[in-house]
Structure 1
Amino acid sequence: MASINKSFVKCRHHLVEFLSDVARMVTPSCSAKGFEILRDGKTNEFGSNNDELVYERRPSVLVLTNNNLRLPPLVSSSSSSSEIKGTIVLDLDETLIHSILGPPPPRYDFMVSRDIDGTTVNFYVLKRPGVDEFLEMISKKYEVVVFTAGHVAYASKVLDILDPKGLISHRFYRDSCKQVRGKFIKDLSGMGRDMRKIVIVDDNPNSFTLQPENGIPIKPFLGDEPWDNELMKLAGFFERCDVFSDMRDAVKKYLELILR
């Protein structure tokens, strides 16, 4: 009996480890609320701060940072800020796609597999309606970046299939997020882009809490909305918003319209 109990405990331990590894692959559910952003010093037009940002929630929270976010310089035909190409940063899970573990659902677009400790795990991916057209349209006028809190081993495979034409210029994964109490926050300030020319789209507004004026929250796509048109609405917005010298002004007007 003691031997059976010992084997059971060992098996349960391995199962917990396995499920934890699987959970770390995809974008976690970020629900951190109540953070107050305290800035010491002035922020310049490119979003960098002369002093360290301090994020406080009673009690104070330690923020861990990674320094691998900087994008290569944009090529522009003019030094005028109004003519600099804008950058659109997109979340992956529940923004562009919905992904679930097996068994296979009744409807999905493609599958990616990952080997974890000798066990093959299948993720079944459903593309958000209009995602192909959306990427095609915005990539003609903007630099397109995907910034996901998903693990690179999972998300890179999804993006390879989702974007066969290479419309997405750059990819950032979980290791490029900042961590606040175990939650993953996407900081745009280290990308080397003019903050007047960058917008992030994410189903979780907490992920862009450092630059809320640059963020557009999108309705989460959970795979059960075949008539979802959120990406097409965004495509129309991005088609027009480049006339603004500061895209944050365009974001503000867009949000005012959709929240009426």
Structure 2
Amino acid sequence: MVSRIGRGSSATKLISKPRRCRRQSPVKGPPSPSSLVSFIRRRLARIFSRLTRLSTPESARIRCEGFELQKKLHAEPDASPTVHMSLFRDHCRLPPSHMRTVFVDLDETLVHSQSDPPPERFDFVVRPVINGRRMTFYVLKRPGLDEFLEAVSKRYEVVVFTAGMKEYASLVLDEIDRNSAISHRLYRNDCREMDGKLVKDLSCTGRNLRDAVIVDDNPNAYALQPENAVPIGPFTDNLEDEELQRLVEFFEGCGEAEDMRDAVKQFLGETYNTLVL
């Protein structure tokens, strides 16, 4: 910048203001190994942070679907396009056992329950809290339930596998299993969802299928292993029902079978022939 000094003087002096000089940085040498490692770590942290943000919407969608699935207590989920989404996690794998395993359903197989108004007959009441709301269920035990659990648990590992919500089913099981005949409990979040239906996949439980049987009133439940299934009629309030007594005889008589699936096949064949005759 130039300024003029001394108005009217014969000579005009031009004075230039000194420029500000930027301080030069010392010449940098090659980065040390420690600083290079820190730089790489920072870059990787940024990359993983971006990937996490990108995946969050999908994770939130899956969690939302799981929440919506658990809104219904007993009913199957509404029919939907094939999803083949597994609700199974590693926690459904059972601890090792030296005994053969009987998987048995809960609702309409061992008990029948309903909400208000109270039915004419019931054995006990449970009041679970579901989705923040306390509900009341009146539960009727199937005839022969206590004898069934006692007899089968002497020879087999008994696992209750229900599509009911844990908040409800755990309270019912506490009532009917006062003698600890049931070894393990599996609930709705241990099922698979396939074609809008809840399926109980025995292959993910850590049990050899040749040593396992499932008793259930719903054919959808054992769709993946029908050869392991002993169907049972649904129970509501028939106090003359003898289905569990019949199953006690079956399990007491097939203990020596090399493959439980062969015993099931023979049992179902004999049952069918009896019904036809």
Amino acid at match of 2:83: L
Question: Are residue 184 (structure 1) and residue 198 (structure 2) matched?
Answer: yes
Question: Are residue 246 (structure 1) and residue 269 (structure 2) matched?
Answer: no
Pairing partner for 1:166 from 152, 176, 180 = 180
Structure 1 pair 196–204 and aligned structure 2 pair: CA distance change class (3 A): same
Amino acid at match of 2:123: D
Deviations 1:178-224 (A, max 9, x none): 0013210000001111111000000011110100000011000012x
Structure 1 pair 189–170 and aligned structure 2 pair: CA distance change class (3 A): same
1:42-61 mapped onto 2 (5 Å cutoff): 61=82
1: CA distance, partners of 2:229 / 2:162: 14
- Computing the radius of gyration from Cα coordinates, the structure with the larger value is 2
Structure 1 pair 119–206 and aligned structure 2 pair: CA distance change class (3 A): closer
Instruction: Give the equivalent residue in structure 1 for 2:83.
Output: 62
* Secondary structure of 1:73 counterpart: coil
Pairing partner for 2:165 from 151, 157, 165 = 151
2: CA distance, partners of 1:103 / 1:185: 31
Pairing partner for 2:214 from 200, 224, 237 = 200
2: CA distance, partners of 1:117 / 1:211: 32
Q: Is the 8 A contact 1:203 1:218 kept in 2?
A: yes
Instruction: Give the equivalent residue in structure 2 for 1:24.
Output: 72
1:1-260 mapped onto 2 (5 Å cutoff): 24-25=72-73, 27-29=74-76, 61-65=82-86, 66-67=88-89, 68-74=91-97, 76=98, 85-116=99-130, 119-223=133-237, 225-260=238-273
2: CA distance, partners of 1:143 / 1:215: 16
> Gaps (5+ residues) in structure 2?
1-67
Q: Is the 8 A contact 2:83 2:196 kept in 1?
A: no
Which structure has more helix as a fraction of its residues? 2
Amino acid at match of 2:143: P
Deviation at 1:132, TM superposition (A): 0.3
**TM-score (normalizing by structure 1):** 0.74
> Gaps (5+ residues) in structure 1?
1-19, 33-56, 77-84
Q: Is the 8 A contact 1:134 1:232 kept in 2?
A: yes
Amino acid at match of 2:262: D
Q: Percent identity?
A: 51
Amino acid at match of 1:207: A
2: CA distance, partners of 1:112 / 1:258: 36
**TM-score (normalizing by structure 2):** 0.69
Deviations 1:84-132 (A, max 9, x none): x210000000000000011211110000002356653210000000000
Deviations 1:3-56 (A, max 9, x none): xxxxxxxxxxxxxxxxx999623x324898xxxxxxxxxxxxxxxxxxxxxxxx
Q: Is the 8 A contact 2:217 2:232 kept in 1?
A: yes
Instruction: Give the equivalent residue in structure 2 for 1:11.
Output: none
Q: Is the 8 A contact 1:178 1:186 kept in 2?
A: yes
Amino acid at match of 1:237: F
* Secondary structure of 1:243 counterpart: coil
Amino acid at match of 1:95: T
The number of aligned residues is 204
**Higher RCO by CA contacts (8 Å cutoff, separation 6 or greater):** 1
Taking only aligned residues, the RMSD between alpha carbons, in angstroms, comes to 2.2
